[in-house]
């Protein structure tokens, strides 16, 4: 879709149906500039530019005492921008720039164009697999007006992971409205999420459909949040349909206990039943599921990149026409050419296909690890290539250098020299560090967790205490106190760094 913007000089009164998410940037100097945004967030103000991200198809901005360019992003295709009487420059597919003079205070309105059929995409749980996320957005942009992301944009909520997601969104040809997931709040990630993408909860109406975005990153819903849902929906009295968007579903179709806490499940399902909620969109479970419970359609779309529980990577196209929703499951094809491992240092880079890995010298052993709660997980036999062997193809690693291991979902673990080349102490605590390509006889690519980091200590358990004793400050245990977190899944890049 090619972005087109209409410019109108006249100012209109604020529609009663417009989203009421009012945010301001904490460090704005209000004596210097006045800015109120409804339906968007202020990203930053610097170098004569005021950057604003839309979190709603409709948006209102009042800007005064500011001389510079306003840059709006995440704006829907075909939107009208009312209040501009000067040149409006398109930037990419869904961004626009216009100039504001310091001696004037104006109000601007962003309004989407109407269409006979509303089409949008629902995705979830890309978890840092930004190549697949970008592919989903590219595909959806051909037919959809916007995308709803149901959370877990990142694997562990770190700034560097948010940087990568933001790059994908900035390159997207279609606006994306997000909710936060439980992975996104790790490492105090909710602060970065709010600063870059959206508040933790908000709402808007589009073509008669009221969308309310609810934060369930803590896996529960309290009474205050239920009351908030009621207040938000009450703003949209003319809404024909009501939709809740959240991360964690209120039911687990596989019975694996990955839904909200039981009390919270009952609360949200009762609210949906009593308040004529048309649909609840969620992710969290890495699969696709659609079912009707007491007149409400519950959609799970958690296949935008993370390792799967069942089915295929996918997104869902949702169409609303003639008073009803219809759903289309759209598979995302994984490029088989990506089934390789890149090993690199400052001076050299080598790419091994999965077939190449099986030709290298291998070791095996029984092992397991503790998770953050002290539960022993991953018991079994692991077979793979020692990291020291892999690094020999790029010149090895020196004491003082670090090893970064990247997973396909964007997750990163950092290891020290002694993890790769264990001395007597490290050998006792962690054993050999291998890139496992086989687990209990199942080989990659059929083994979906592989290639995976594995430790092979003599006692067959890499405990949290072992992890602490074999982690340098700022690495491993000191980033996330779990031995299991060291066992990175779906490894795609191994890099020696200073």
pLDDT digits (tens, 9 = 90+) for 424-433: 999 999 999 9
Q: Is the pTM of this model over 0.85?
A: no
**pLDDT beyond 60 at 9:** no
pLDDT of 27: 42
May I ask the CATH architecture of the domain 337-497?
A: Alpha-Beta Complex (3.90)
> Residue 318: beta bridge partners?
120, 327
pLDDT of 86: 61
**pLDDT beyond 60 at 280:** yes
CA atoms within 13 A on the CB side of 495: 12
pLDDT of 335: 54
Please name which of 157, 153, 216 lies closest in space to residue 191, comparing C-alpha atoms: 157
The answer to which of 158-172, 210-224, 384-398 has the lowest mean pLDDT is 158-172
Alpha-carbon Rg for the chain, nearest whole angstrom, is 25
pLDDT of 4: 45
pLDDT of 18: 44
What's the pLDDT band for 309 if we cut at 50, 70, 90?
Answer: confident
Helix (H, G, I), strand (E, B) or coil at 162: helix
Please name which of 403, 429, 417 lies closest in space to residue 488, comparing C-alpha atoms: 403
The answer to which of 233-242, 305-314, 317-326 has the lowest mean pLDDT is 305-314
**Pairing between strand 279-282 and 241-245?**
parallel
Average pLDDT over residues 468-491: 93
Task: Classify 410 in phi/psi space as left (phi over 0), alpha (psi -120 to 50) or beta.
Answer: left
pLDDT of 414: 94
pLDDT of 30: 42
Say if residues 352 and 340 touch (Cβ distance below 8 Å).
yes
pLDDT of 77: 83
Dihedral sign for Cα atoms in the order 89, 91, 94, 100: negative
Q: What average pLDDT does the structure give for the chain?
A: 89
Q: Of all residues in the chain, what percent carry a pLDDT higher than 70?
A: 90
Structure tokens at 257: 């206990």
**pLDDT beyond 80 at 167:** yes
User: Domain coordinates of the chain in residue numbers?
Assistant: 6-111, 118-331, 337-497
Q: Which CATH number fits domain 118-331: 2.60.40.10, 3.60.21.10, 3.90.1150.10, 3.30.70.890?
A: 3.60.21.10
Q: Kindly list the distances between the CA atom of residue 257 and the CA atoms of 31, 254, 261, 312, 369, in Å, as whole numbers in the listed order.
A: 52, 8, 9, 21, 22
Angle between helices 262-274 and 223-234 (to 10 degrees): 20
Q: Kindly list the distances between the CA atom of residue 469 and the CA atoms of 293, 429, 453, 472, 475, in Å, as whole numbers in the listed order.
A: 50, 8, 18, 8, 11
**pLDDT beyond 90 at 360:** yes
pLDDT of 439: 98
User: Which residue carries 């709803």 as its tokens?
Assistant: 148
Structure tokens at 297: 């359609």
Average pLDDT over residues 144-170: 93
What's the pLDDT band for 91 if we cut at 50, 70, 90?
Answer: low
CA–CA separation, 294 and 191 (whole Å): 36
pLDDT of 201: 97
Structure tokens at 371: 């998770």
CA–CA separation, 142 and 144 (whole Å): 6
CA–CA separation, 410 and 475 (whole Å): 17
Structure tokens at 211: 């969308």
Please tell me whether the peptide bond between 445 and the residue prior to it is cis, using omega within 30 degrees of 0. yes
CA–CA separation, 396 and 265 (whole Å): 52
What is the maximum span of the chain, computed from C-alpha positions, in angstroms?
77
CA–CA separation, 199 and 55 (whole Å): 9
pLDDT of 338: 60
Tell me whether residue 90 is exposed, middle or buried, using C-beta atoms within 10 angstroms of its C-beta: 0 to 12, 13 to 18, 19 or more: middle
pLDDT of 66: 87
Residue 214 phi, psi dihedral angles, 5° rounding: -120, 135
pLDDT of 19: 43
**pLDDT beyond 60 at 13:** no
More confident residue, 148 or 81: 148
Average pLDDT over residues 296-306: 94
């Amino acid at each position: 879709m090619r972005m087109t913007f209409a410019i109108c000089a006249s100012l209109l009164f604020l529609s009663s149906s417009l989203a009421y998410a009012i945010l301001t940037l904490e460090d704005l100097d209000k004596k210097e500039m006045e800015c109120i945004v409804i339906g968007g967030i202020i990203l930053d103000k610097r170098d004569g530019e005021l950057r604003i991200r839309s979190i709603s198809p409709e948006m209102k901005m009042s800007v005064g005492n500011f001389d510079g360019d306003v840059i709006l992003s995440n704006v829907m295709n075909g939107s009208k921008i009312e209040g501009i009487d000067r040149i409006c420059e398109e930037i990419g597919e869904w961004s626009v720039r216009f100039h504001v003079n310091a001696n004037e205070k104006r109000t601007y309105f962003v309004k989407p164009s109407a269409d006979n059929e509303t089409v949008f995409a629902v995705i979830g749980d890309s978890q840092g697999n930004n190549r697949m996320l970008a592919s989903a957005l590219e595909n959806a942009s051909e037919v959809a007006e916007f995308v709803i992301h149901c959370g877990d944009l990142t694997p562990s909520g770190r700034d560097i992971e948010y940087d990568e997601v933001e790059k994908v969104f900035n390159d997207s040809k279609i606006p994306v409205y997000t909710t936060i997931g439980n992975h996104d709040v790790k490492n105090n990630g909710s602060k970065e999420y709010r600063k870059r993408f959206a508040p933790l909860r908000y709402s808007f109406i589009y073509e008669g459909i009221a969308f309310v975005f609810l934060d369930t990153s803590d896996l529960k819903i309290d009474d205050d949040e239920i009351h908030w849902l009621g207040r938000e929906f009450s703003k949209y009295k003319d809404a024909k349909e009501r939709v809740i968007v959240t991360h964690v579903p209120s039911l687990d179709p596989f019975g694996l206990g990955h839904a909200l806490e039981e009390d919270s499940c009952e609360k949200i399902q009762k609210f949906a039943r009593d308040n004529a909620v048309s649909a609840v969109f969620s992710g969290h479970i890495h699969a696709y599921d659609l079912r009707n419970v007491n007149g409400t359609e519950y959609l799970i779309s958690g296949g935008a990149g993370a390792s799967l529980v069942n089915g295929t990577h996918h997104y869902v196209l949702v169409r609303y026409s003639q008073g009803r929703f219809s759903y289309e499951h759209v598979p995302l094809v994984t490029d088989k050419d990506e089934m390789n491992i890149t090993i690199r240092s400052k001076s050299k880079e080598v790419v091994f296909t999965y077939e190449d890995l099986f030709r290298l010298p291998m070791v095996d052993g029984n092992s397991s690890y503790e998770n953050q709660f002290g539960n022993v997980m991953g018991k079994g036999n692991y077979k793979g290539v020692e990291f020291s062997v892999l690094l020999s193809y790029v010149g090895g690693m020196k004491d003082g250098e670090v090893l970064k291991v990247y997973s396909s979902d964007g997750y990163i673990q950092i290891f020290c020299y002694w993890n790769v080349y264990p001395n007597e102490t490290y050998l006792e605590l962690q054993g050999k560090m291998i890139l496992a390509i086989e687990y209990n006889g199942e080989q990659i690519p059929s083994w979906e967790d592989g290639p995976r980091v594995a430790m092979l200590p003599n006692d067959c358990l890499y405990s949290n205490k072992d992890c602490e004793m074999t982690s340098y400050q700022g690495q491993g245990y000191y980033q996330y106190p779990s031995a299991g977190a060291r066992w990175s899944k779906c490894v795609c890049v191994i890099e020696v760094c200073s």
